[in-house]
Amino acid sequence: MSDDPFCRIIAGERPAFVVHEDDLTVSFLDGRPVFKGHVLVVPRAHVETLSDLTEVGPFFERVQEMARAVEAGLEAGGTFVALNNRVSQSVPHLHVHVVPRNPMDGLRGFFWPRTRYASDEEARSYAATIAGALSGGAT
């Protein structure tokens, strides 16, 4: 889908701060993160919802690896992992949010305040830190 921003990121037609990519997924920083280090994990194949995804197990293994990397790389207390199906899905391409969390970080319920990176350099630094925490450090 040429107008799908995630398909355009996957194709290299739209810039993103990529944390990791492989044959099944591409993971990149959310442009409007809840907290800095907020990563989106998307399948390379264009699917809109979880029901459309054929490789559920391998996809969620990548999500699990990213959650570990976000926690380890950012020294976060944990992660918030979320997925919207159609309702509240800002881009009609399946994506899982992996958000770093810490006690008393201010996030309550499903209110998702958004922030911005101060610069491209700051975003690149977060992406590199998380990528370095992945098994083998591969990006």
Mark whether 93 is an active-site residue.
Answer: no
* Sequential DSSP letters for 99-134: EEE-TT-S--TT-------SSHHHHHHHHHHHHHHS
One of 20, 38, 95, 97 is an active-site residue; which one? 95
Rounded CA separation 10/16 (Å): 9
| 8 Å CB contact between 100 and 74 | yes
Rounded CA separation 80/130 (Å): 15
Q: What is the DSSP letter of 24?
A: S
Indicate which residues carry an active-site annotation. 95
